[in-house]
A = this chain, B = another copy of it.
Amino acid sequence: MEENEDSEIIEHHVNEEMEKKGFTTRHTHLFLESVTLSEREGYSTQSSHRLLAYSDALISIIATVMILPVAHTQFQDDQELKESLQHLLTTKVAVYLMTFLIVSVAWAAHIRLFQVIERIDDCLALLNLACMMLITFLPYTFSLMATFPENILGILLFCTCVIVIGLIQAVIVMYGFSHPFLLNDQIQISENQGFYKRHILKVILRVPVFCFIAIIFSFIFFPLSYVLLAFVTFLPYISQSLKWCRNKAIGQMEETPDSMLFYSYHPNEPLSKERVEAFSDGVYAIVATLLILDICEDNVPDPAVVQRRFNSSLIEALQEFGPEFLAYFGSFATVGLLWFVHHSLFLHVTRTTRLMGLLNTFSLAFVGGLPLAYELTHEFPRNSRNELEAIQISCVIIFFAGVFQLAIWVAALFSERETLHPYVRYGGRDHAFMFAKLALYPCVALGTFFVTCALSRFSAPVFHLMQMAVPVAFLLLRLLVRLGLALLRRLFCPTPPATHSALEEEDLRLPFSDLAT
């Protein structure tokens, strides 16, 4: 079996590397060879791609789960929407948003972990599954905390989960560093692997330690443990913004030292673009189909009821559910088109930074609220005050979902050389078109909001008209942008096109491979 080993380039590489380090490492290597022979054969070069895709799918489902209790809240018709909304806003929406945040923090930690460990074997795959199981349990512990804020059981469960997740991740790191061929190539050839290992373990174990302190405090004075947990959750963002402010104040270059390349919490630290896309796809897919889950379960009428109430006329019985089907198609189309915008944007993104990831999370959190908003629009009688408010809430949610997508692009434009394809950079060929694509939904939502304010009697028709107009607008968008640009050029400046194309050429001369890395 020995002759097969040469075919595996990575192992070969590791062997070379090992040989440099002299006898001690060599001895360890031989030891490893005997113990972990099984893992090093065949599976050693196993790419982690599919494991990560599956993890992304699980995490995106869990992130959006907590919208279900919000969406299934029953509204009393006689009650004013505002009142029930206040009730909603205080607990369920807060739980949803916090869950989304916590799960996406866990997801970001998962990304960073598997940017260090690039290849997996069976053992790591099983450990990762155990980790996933605990992450999927977090939303439940969180809703326990929200429902029983004075009971420490919620805190205990949450902290226990987080501690166990942290320990499993530490085991994964230890395992990875004891089988160096699983690691990122850059770390694999680095001289100070031990330093990396300590640094990564320190960052990972920081969170369990905080949670352990929170558990102790929960027995003494529990409000303090909430403060501690909030601090842990926002830790990356706090340290990140503090660093950014300090750097801006001192005017220091944001040069990452070699040791801080991983687990640095820099706003410009790269997040795997592939995984950001996979996570977003998962959220968009779940959200788009949330309403059909309900429809398939609840909106098939009972044969007995149809016979009794509708004289066996199924069409009449289904007409009762008409608004719900409309809500489904409306929400699917909106979520689908927001996905389309996201897809178009990320097609031209070459590298995702942490800041872009954060803005993406905010956008997705609003997208998750869409089915709820659409369901609200048909819960209330026509032309009631409630209906108007439900429609306006939908507009606000669409507006924010779209605006945060636009913000991703704006954030990318600040460091466009590293993050964007030349076409959509400032002055690039598709710059105006991309802007139009990203601005379409926020503009339409804002317009609909103000029109419904002015024409409150026709709010529902205006809203449905908007729903039908937007897909057409997307189909014709390139044409419209060309017309608009031509018009602008003719009105204001007949000469600029020359400098414009010069800029474009300069951008296009940049080698593409340079951008992809």
Interface residues of A (CB under 8 A from B): 1, 3-4, 7, 38, 41-42, 46, 50-51, 53-54, 57-58, 61-62, 65-66, 68-69, 72, 122-123, 125-126, 129, 132-133, 136-137, 139-140, 143-144, 147-148, 151, 153, 277-278, 281-282, 284-286, 288-289, 292-293, 295-297, 299-301, 303, 306, 314-315, 318, 328-329, 332-333, 336-337, 339-340, 343-344, 346-347, 423, 429-430, 471, 474-475, 477-479, 482, 501, 505, 508
In the bound complex, do residue B61 and residue A285 qualify as a contact, i.e. CB atoms below 8 Å apart? Answer: yes
Instruction: Give Cα A126–Cα B476 distance, bound, in whole angstroms.
Output: 12
The residues of B that contact A479 with a CB separation of less than 8 Å are 38
In the bound complex, do residue B318 and residue A474 qualify as a contact, i.e. CB atoms below 8 Å apart? Answer: no
In the bound complex, do residue B314 and residue A153 qualify as a contact, i.e. CB atoms below 8 Å apart? Answer: yes
In the bound complex, do residue A42 and residue B423 qualify as a contact, i.e. CB atoms below 8 Å apart? Answer: yes
The residues of B that contact A57 with a CB separation of less than 8 Å are 57, 281-282, 285
Instruction: Give Cα A346–Cα B47 distance, bound, in whole angstroms.
Output: 12
In the bound complex, do residue A429 and residue B42 qualify as a contact, i.e. CB atoms below 8 Å apart? Answer: yes
In the bound complex, do residue B42 and residue A122 qualify as a contact, i.e. CB atoms below 8 Å apart? Answer: no
Instruction: Report which of B129, B144, B285, B293 forms a contact with A68, defined as CB distance below 8 A.
Output: B293
- Between A and B, 27 residue pairs with Cβ closer than 8 Å are A1-B429, A1-B501, A3-B505, A38-B479, A42-B429, A46-B347, A50-B277, A53-B281, A57-B282, A58-B289, A61-B285, A68-B296, A69-B297, A69-B300, A122-B478, A123-B475, A125-B340, A126-B471, A129-B333, A129-B340, A133-B332, A133-B336, A136-B288, A137-B328, A140-B295, A140-B300, A143-B296
The residues of B that contact A139 with a CB separation of less than 8 Å are 292, 296
In the bound complex, do residue B329 and residue A133 qualify as a contact, i.e. CB atoms below 8 Å apart? Answer: yes
> 7 tightest CB-CB pairs across the interface, nearest first?
A57-B285, A129-B336, A38-B478, A61-B289, A151-B314, A54-B281, A153-B314
Number of this chain's copies in the complex: 2
In the bound complex, do residue A54 and residue B153 qualify as a contact, i.e. CB atoms below 8 Å apart? Answer: no
In the bound complex, do residue B296 and residue A65 qualify as a contact, i.e. CB atoms below 8 Å apart? Answer: yes
Q: Which of A66, A277, A296 has the most CB of B within 10 A?
A: A296
The residues of B that contact A429 with a CB separation of less than 8 Å are 1, 4, 41-42
Q: Which of A123, A136, A306, A479 has the most CB of B within 10 A?
A: A136
Besides A38-B479, A42-B423, 14 other A-B contacts (C-beta < 8 A): A42-B429, A50-B347, A54-B285, A58-B288, A65-B293, A65-B296, A66-B296, A68-B296, A122-B478, A126-B475, A129-B340, A132-B336, A133-B333, A144-B314
Instruction: Give Cα A347–Cα B282 distance, bound, in whole angstroms.
Output: 23
Instruction: Give Cα A42–Cα B478 distance, bound, in whole angstroms.
Output: 12
Instruction: Give Cα A282–Cα B58 distance, bound, in whole angstroms.
Output: 9
Q: Nearest chain-B residue to A475 (Cβ)?
A: B126
The residues of B that contact A328 with a CB separation of less than 8 Å are 137
Instruction: Give Cα A5–Cα B7 distance, bound, in whole angstroms.
Output: 40
Task: Say yes or no: A72-B336 contact (C-beta < 8 A), given A1-B429, A292-B65, A344-B122.
Answer: no
The residues of B that contact A306 with a CB separation of less than 8 Å are 148
Task: Please give the distance in Å from A116's CB to the nearest CB on chain B.
Answer: 21
Instruction: Give Cα A81–Cα B1 distance, bound, in whole angstroms.
Output: 55
